[in-house]
């Protein structure tokens, strides 16, 4: 009786390693027909709220602003008097608005390459560290989490406050320089120094992370091959290997910096007085036009459309020049 359990042992598996056929000789189970429908339903459940918010809070306001720019809209956002392109003509003949566009084209031409160079330099330094890399990466990235309003007020009221015992005047006083009214003096370059330094402090850490990620993706074999060919480490390796490999990231960084430069508002609004005629950003002029005493929403919307077209034109030209979306391998 003890051996009766082994009279009919199970058949051994096939030599090919395939699993044994199911008992009873039935066909393998077929995939359920509703699987694709369930995946589609899950997709819309996850993306639906985001798309609804995008339409309500982004696309509808953009379309409404474009429609509003062709009407005489004062103290109302539901006008009925069509004026055509009069609002665009009025904004293009407004010296404050055109002057702010010219000023910030010069500002963008300065702040964009400066931030790009500083971010890339920080990324190269952190990338070469052998210890405490995560610590320095966090330290340089931390200002990105700071509010632009808070940073602007610290720069204005603590560092560049213009009094004798302010930090900036204390430092320049070591070299025999008298107190400087950094913000109250309307003549450049003093207030530009305040704005540029706070903007560099706020933005460089974020773009450093982008460059650092790109540096970590460069194959080490390229540097080994360059060393075998006699390339010297330093500027020669950076120029012929590192910089070309960062072309796609550099293009994206410059595009983001250009857009951010023309959309600057918080630090300028808190550092530069809105009553001043110097250092006004395009958004500050549009803010006073649409939400000031006249509340001219039509002209403000027309100015917003003009600014959007200018940003698109500048970014497209820059992308055309550098090759938007292309890396070194597509050259």
Q: How many CA atoms lie within 13 A of 46 on its CB side?
A: 6
Q: What is the DSSP string of 183-234?
A: TT--STTHHHHHHHHHHHHHHHHHHHHHHHHHHHTS-HHHHHHHHHTTPPTT
Query: How is residue 169 written in tokens?
Result: 């005047």
pLDDT, residue 328, reads 45
Cα(first)–Cα(last) distance of the chain, in Å? 81
- pLDDT per position in the chain (331 positions), as tens? 444 444 455 555 555 555 555 555 555 555 555 556 778 888 888 889 999 999 999 999 999 999 999 999 888 878 878 998 999 999 999 888 988 888 888 888 889 999 999 999 999 999 888 888 888 888 999 999 898 999 999 998 888 887 777 888 888 888 888 888 887 755 556 788 888 899 999 999 999 999 999 999 988 888 888 888 777 777 888 888 888 889 889 988 998 998 888 888 888 888 876 666 666 788 888 988 888 888 889 999 999 999 999 888 888 887 777 765 554 444 4
CA distance 189 to 204: 21
Angle of the 95-128 helix axis to the 133-141 helix axis, nearest 10: 170
pLDDT of residue 2: 47
Q: Specify the pLDDT at position 9.
A: 54
Domains and CATH numbers, the chain: 86-330 (1.10.3720.10)
Residue 125 pLDDT: 92
Q: Which pLDDT score, from 0 to 100, does residue 274 have?
A: 60
Determine the pLDDT at residue 185: 59
Q: Which H or E element spans position 149?
A: helix 148-154
pLDDT at 180: 82
> pTM of whole model > 0.85?
no
Closest to 251 (Cα-Cα) out of 295, 194, 207: 207
Residue 252, Cβ neighbours under 10 Å: how many?
A: 17
């Amino acid at each position: 009786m003890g051996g009766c359990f082994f009279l009919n042992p199970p058949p051994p598996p096939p030599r090919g390693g395939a699993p044994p056929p199911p008992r009873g000789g039935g066909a393998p189970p077929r995939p359920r027909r509703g699987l694709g429908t369930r995946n589609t339903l899950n997709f819309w459940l996850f993306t639906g709220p985001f798309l609804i918010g995008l339409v309500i809070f982004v696309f509808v306001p953009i379309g409404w602003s474009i429609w509003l720019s062709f009407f005489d809209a004062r103290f109302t956002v539901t006008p009925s008097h069509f004026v055509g392109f009069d609002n665009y003509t009025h904004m293009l003949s407004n010296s404050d608005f055109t002057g702010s566009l010219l000023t910030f084209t010069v500002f963008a031409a300065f702040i964009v390459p400066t931030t790009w160079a500083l971010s890339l330099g920080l990324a190269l330094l952190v990338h070469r560290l052998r210890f405490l890399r995560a610590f320095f990466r966090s330290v340089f990235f931390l200002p990105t989490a700071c509010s632009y309003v808070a940073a602007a007020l610290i720069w204005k009221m603590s560092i560049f406050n213009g009094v004798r015992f302010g930090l900036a005047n204390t430092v320049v006083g070591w070299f025999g320089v008298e107190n400087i009214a950094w913000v109250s003096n309307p003549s450049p370059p003093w207030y530009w120094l305040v704005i540029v330094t706070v903007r560099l402090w706020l933005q460089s850490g974020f773009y450093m992370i982008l460059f650092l990620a790109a540096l970590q993706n460069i194959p080490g074999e390229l540097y080994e091959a360059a060393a075998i060919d006699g390339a010297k480490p330093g500027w020669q390796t950076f120029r012929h290997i590192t910089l070309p490999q960062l072309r796609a990231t550099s293009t994206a960084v410059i595009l983001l910096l250009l857009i951010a430069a023309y959309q600057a508002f918080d630090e300028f609004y808190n550092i530069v007085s809105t009553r001043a005629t110097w250092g006004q950003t395009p958004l500050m002029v549009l803010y006073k036009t649409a939400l000031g005493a006249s509340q001219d929403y039509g002209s403000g919307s027309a100015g917003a459309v003009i600014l959007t077209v200018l940003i698109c034109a500048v970014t497209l030209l820059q992308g055309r020049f550098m090759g938007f979306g292309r890396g070194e391998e597509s050259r």
